[in-house]
Chain A
């Protein structure tokens, strides 16, 4: 009973945060000028959009389970999330190295290297994608080992 009310509070809090992030995203996109493709890949709206997609998917899944009288999360979902987080962490290290190498090679060829914001944004976006991909994959494959 205690767990169910905890799940409900978690879902309501998740819905509120997702709605706020979505509102921020809408405001941001409607107020920003035209940007090129590289900037849009590195920009915060993309990160927010990815977070909204993940949050919506997780919330819909939890609500579906709660409606069936089942817990919103259990030991398997927690284990899968931890595993996906581990993969995303490992990927972020290699992504950071790849960005540094790319920035250096841009500078060596006479161009302008990436700034810290672009590198940071890129690492967050790509590791979020790795997390999402890993979680989707593990949700289908399972975690036998």
Chain B
């Protein structure tokens, strides 16, 4: 699975830690999500998409 989290994060000038705080997860989770090393739950995918003002479809490429 590929993600565009890094791209969207850069768009809003957010660090991994800031995004983690917004979503309410640990920084490592954001690192793994960006690297495509972790498949998030639907809730987490929704929360990340909401924090980055986009949709799950836009953010995650299956």
| Interface flag for A20 (CB, 8 Å) | no
List the A residue with the shortest CB-CB distance to B28.
Answer: A76
Q: How far is the CA of A142 from the CA of B40 in the complex (A)?
A: 11
| A2: interface (CB < 8 Å) | no
For the residues of A in contact with B, the DSSP-based class is loop
Contacts of A69 in B (CB 8 A): 21
B32 part of interface (Cβ distance < 8 Å): yes
A74 at the interface (CB under 8 A from B): yes
Contact: B17 with A68, CB < 8 Å?
yes
B25 and A142 contacting across the interface, CB-CB below 8 Å: no
Interface residue count for B (Cβ, 8 Å)?
19
Question: A139–B29 Cα gap in the complex (Å)?
Answer: 10
Q: Judge if A32 is at the interface, Cβ distance under 8 Å.
A: no
What CA separation (Å) do A141 and B29 show in the bound complex? 12
Report yes or no: B36 in contact with A76, Cβ–Cβ below 8 A: no
Query: What would 8 more interface pairs be, CB under 8 Å, given A76-B25, A143-B38?
Result: A71-B24, A71-B25, A74-B24, A75-B25, A75-B40, A76-B28, A77-B26, A142-B35
A143 CA / B40 CA spacing, docked (Å) = 9
* Chain B residue at smallest Cβ distance from A143: B38
Q: A75-B41, A141-B37, A144-B38 are in contact. Are A70 and B32 (CB under 8 A)?
A: no
